[in-house]
Amino acid sequence: MEEAVKTLETDLKQGLTSSEVEKRLNKHGPNELEAEEPESLWSKILEQFKDLLVQILLGAAIISFILACLGDGDEGLTAFVEPFVIMCILIINATVAVW
């Protein structure tokens, strides 16, 4: 403890004088952390889609949607259920992660 007091050139009972405080503030600056820039909502949302598994699911949804559009029409709206469910899962996942 005494070694730290000597290194910091201070007195445990009296502390620093006003002039010493001013001198150290000028030399070292205030004892503060730099404020981080807040991350925008859009960048938080995009961050959720950078994961490889999410990208694979997104690709599967797109391919499934294209196949449903190009299908012969026998399935009707049921062909669109799979891409819709995948997209809902991805949106819910991103919403929960951002929240």
Q: Where are the domains of the chain?
A: 1-32, 41-98
Tell me the C-alpha distance between 34 and 59, whole Å: 40
Name 62's Cβ contacts closer than 8 Å, sequence gap at least 6. Answer: 83
Q: Tell me the pLDDT tens digit for each residue of 28-79.
A: 888 888 888 888 889 998 898 899 999 999 999 999 999 888 877 667 778 8
Q: Residue written as tokens 């009707």? A: 76
Tell me the C-alpha distance between 69 and 72, whole Å: 8
In DSSP notation, 56-84 reads HHHHHHHHHHHHHHHS-SSSGGGGGHHHH
Instruction: State the pLDDT at residue 74.
Output: 66
Q: Tell me the pLDDT tens digit for each residue of 4-36.
A: 777 777 778 888 888 888 998 999 888 888 888
